[in-house]
Amino acid sequence: MEALKKEKQPHVSIQKTMSGAQAVVQSLIKEGVDLIFGYPGGAIMPVYDALYDVEDELKHILVRHEQGATHAAQGYARASGKVGVCIATSGPGATNLITGIADAQIDSTPMVCITGQVASGLLGTDAFQETDVIGISMPVTKWNYQVTRAEEIPDALAKAFYIARSGKPGPVLVDITKDAQFGNLTFNYNPFKGMRSYVPRPRLDILKVKAAAALINNAKRPLVLFGQGIILSEAESEFKTFIEKAELPSAWTIMGLSALDTDHYLNVGMLGMHGNYAPNKLTNECDVLIAIGMRFDDRITGDLSRYATQAKVIHLEIDPAEVDKNVKTDVAILGDAKESLLALTECIEPNQHKAWLDEFRKLEFEEYEGVIKEELNPSVDELSMGEVIRSINDQTAGDAIVVTDVGQHQMVTCRYAQFKNSTKSMITSGGLGTMGFCLPAAIGAKMAKPQKQVIAIIGDGGFQMTLQELGTIFQTKIPVKIVVLNNEFLGMVRQWQELFFEKRYASTTMVNPDFQQIVAGYGIETKKVTERKALNDAVGKMLTHEGAFFLEVRVAKENNVFPMVPTGASVSEIRLK
């Protein structure tokens, strides 16, 4: 009876006294964080000491450079849909995070960055390793805050996670002085509920939905442009139902890739400077343009004065700041993409646009004959980037997470990678275009999805920007697969020099080291391919190998990525050669 009485007693929350550093760790655990990426140093040492006691609950991955921590946290967030977390010390540790934070900001990746800072009494004195990281990070964070008292820590971190993940996601930074880490507090963690000045999800306006539906119902040549907003709101199913109901041809930004199966009959390809011929060309021939979860950046629009001027524009977007920023809209539907699509699908009528879809098919055939056939089946001895991607497609059946760096290989991968029922499977640096992103981001993605095949596709230039993260792979035994497409050039810049600067290859020729020896030094299985006949077997060996694997493929040195919309041109002026 006494035992039963004890069971019926209400649970009493026991508040514990602990240090600020311990409060940081316990706050992360309360938020459900089980993995962080970082690099220790003097100003963050108390937090690392607290991490030592919770190794079973909160795993820390030691990267080899703080920038690697941010990209790994990005890869983790993009693959999992959770908030990525990274941690660094003050001064150079904090400033080394900035590139990854800026990348996360422009690509809407939820991330919480925690930095150590000198003691509050030393702020503003140019103390050793003191840097105004709040001032530096303000333009590239969704929110940032400096903690100077231990009792501020739980509330600051609760607010940080709420802001990072809510509405349009993004990175936040919390800078914590060393005395705040050493100070004591009574720990009580309450998840943040919101604030009056911040409305992460606008209320859906049904009149706007009906106005948009009327335009779609009367359209003869509609075109959907979809971006990462579909993925961030987990609206893939709703999106597919929407486009199928009215038979709407749909084109994607590189951040939207994998939201819709690449072989879906309404998937008409990639938008942008190196996108597919049909969706770019027909953007200026559609009568209704429906943009969903994308921001009309310059790589998509080309010359804005000649972009879709003939079309009525509908924009589904969660961030009011993105509406009318670049392209004037006729109807803007503010809200979460999932909610907006559900409402819009109810209001549109079933329809077919066979003649309009046939126009896409004709241009697709032109692109195949003019570009794709040679890229995937080269008539020359040199290997092409496209046939490497095709081999990976064939052997993964579109069921892998693909991570890219930035450059020609990125555009080729986005153009030819195949995805089947595999959302959150394309991870790349879109808006900032950060070389060096791929290797650490692939580590983070593999940590998020250990059961999935994760393939990093990198150029020889970008690989050398963060190759030190091979040490992270060596220490943690993360079985990521790495493919370096080596053309001994900074390929994208070289392409521009060839086309627009009379082949004056200024500082784009790469004299590379022996990658095989470097990778072998980290204990990673490695292979080099220089001939076509060896490619498929090498890819197969990489994919079936249990541990990490490095595959170097020597590809054509001066191969160009087409189609291409030259800078300042209209999307209608896209070139096949």
Q: Spot the catalytic one: 255, 492, 542, 564.
A: 492
| Cα–Cα dist 504/497, whole Å | 6
Does residue 366 have an active-site annotation?
A: no
Catalytic residue among 66, 130, 387, 469: 66
Angle at 255 between CA 242 and CA 311, to 5 degrees: 55
Tell me, yes or no, if 129 is annotated catalytic: yes
List the catalytic residue out of 178, 312, 424, 527.
178
In the chain, what are the helix, strand and coil shares in percent, each to the nearest 5?
45, 20, 40
Strand partners, 525: 549
Query: Rounded to whole angstroms, how far apart are CA atoms 263 and 552?
Result: 29
Q: What is the 3-state secondary structure (H, E, C) of 22-38?
A: HHHHHHHHHCCCCEEEE
Helix (H) or strand (E) holding 437: none
Phi (first) and psi of residue 4, to 5 degrees: -65, -40
Query: What's the CA gap between 36 and 508, in Å, rounded?
Result: 36
Q: Residue 279 contacts by C-beta under 8 Å, 6 or more apart in sequence?
A: 223, 225, 249, 251, 268, 269, 270, 271, 360
Helical residues (DSSP H) of 81-131, grouped into ranges = 92-95, 98-106
Contacts of range 352-355, beta carbons closer than 8 Å, 24 or more positions apart: 352/247, 353/220, 353/221, 353/222, 353/246, 353/247, 353/248, 353/249, 354/247
Known catalytic membership, residue 178:
yes
**Per annotation, catalytic residue among 59, 129, 151, 510:** 129
Around 81, how many Cα atoms within 13 Å sit in the side-chain half-sphere? 11
Q: Cβ distance 122 to 184 under 8 Å?
A: no
Helices (H), 183-248: 206-218, 229-232, 236-246
The 3-state DSSP class for residue 486 equals: strand
Q: Which of the 8 DSSP states describes residue 105?
A: H
Nearest 5°: the CA angle 17, 18, 21 is 160
Residue tagged active-site, from 128, 182, 365, 500:
128
Q: How is residue 501 written in tokens?
A: 């600067």
Active site annotation includes 234:
no
* Catalytic (active site) residue 451: no
Enzyme catalytic residues: 66, 128-129, 178, 492
